[in-house]
Amino acid sequence: MAEWSNATMTDVGAALQAKVNAGKTKLTFTKIKVGSGVNATNPLALTDVISSKWETTNFVVKLEGKIVSVDTVITNTGIHEAFRMSEIGLFAQDPDKGEILYAYLTDPEPDRMPAESGSVVVSQELTIGMVFSNTGNVSLTVNIGALITREQLTEAVKQHNTDISSHPPITDQIKAILGSANWKDSPASTLVTIKNLLGQGAIVASKLDANAGFVKFANGFTIQWGVGGQDNVVKTEVTFPIRFTRLFMANAIDAYWSGSDTPRYFANSVSESNNTKAVFVASDKYAASYYWFALGII
């Protein structure tokens, strides 16, 4: 079982870090090497891994506060002979010395990396973490995952994608969107259907109030309505609930006075009406109230 407990900065790595702390250069990592060597003397004096078996320049450097992590994936691609992964070297660029061995890590109980073959491809995630203190000191840690074959990885991804119910936050959101108790239910309307409906003139806004309301369609066409009129007044004005960009027409429904069966007629005063109001003129002052409607574009 892997036990990467021995992580240290080399002497040349410490010298580079001193330059970084002094603001003379930036810390740029260049390479990661994995080897099978065993150092029995002083790892601080090393300038390279002892027995390199695999290396890569493909890694991701992440910065979170004072923590820097270098992430990569070790694979047996290109490895022709199995070996024990007992050492890892992290390399960086020194402005004066060129590429140097910045940090060195060893494992007294190394995992075995099998040789590449047509049927067995294995990989292992590796994260080298560095914590930088206010004084410039650096603490090193390493996290390395278990070896996994391509078949195992493919099956794990397949299982993950199939069993989405193992992610309650996602399935809960799907149920909320569907308005259903089951996240697997088919939606009543797809986004494409809704988009097409909007394009065909579906209602996009409304105020369904008998005294003053409106219905607006996707193309801007709007119907507005309300109640108008006033006792003993021939000419009255109503204000539209929302302003028209273009008014097509405004009309009022003929009303009866409560004391007579004779209808009172209304006419819209075109010269006084505009995009925000309509002015109606009754046939006499006894038309106390009426219903009106207006058509236009918002």
Q: Quick one: pLDDT at residue 230?
A: 81
In order, the DSSP letters of 89-108 are EEEEEETTTEEEEEEEEEEE
CA distance 55 to 37: 14
Residue pair 123/85 in contact by the 8 Å Cβ criterion: no
Which parts of the chain register pLDDT below 50?
A: 153
In order, the DSSP letters of 168-188 are HHHHHHHHHHHTSS-TTSPPS
Q: Where are the domains of the chain?
A: 6-146, 199-297
Query: What b/e sequence results for 209-229 when a residue is b if at least 16 CB atoms lie within 10 Å of its CB, and e otherwise?
Result: eeebebebbeeeebebbbebb
The CA-atom distances, in angstroms, between 64 and each of 29, 92, 103, 155 are: 17, 19, 20, 32
Residue pair 10/46 in contact by the 8 Å Cβ criterion: yes
Cα angle for residues 263, 269, 270 (degrees, 5° grid): 135
Q: What is the mean pLDDT of the chain?
A: 81
Residue pair 278/270 in contact by the 8 Å Cβ criterion: no
Identify the three-state secondary structure at position 10.
Answer: coil
List for the chain the helix, strand, coil content (%; round to 5): 15, 45, 40
Q: Quick one: pLDDT at residue 276?
A: 93
Backbone φ and ψ of 233, nearest 5°: -130, 125
Alpha carbon distance, N-terminus to C-terminus of the chain: 71
Task: Specify the CATH number for 199-297; select among 3.40.190.10, 3.40.50.300, 2.60.40.3940, 3.30.43.10.
Answer: 2.60.40.3940
Q: Which residues share a beta bridge with 264?
A: 255
Whether pTM > 0.85 for this model: the answer is no
Q: Quick one: pLDDT at residue 53?
A: 94
**Structure confidence by residue, pLDDT tens digits, 185-216:** 777 667 777 666 665 667 888 898 888 999 99
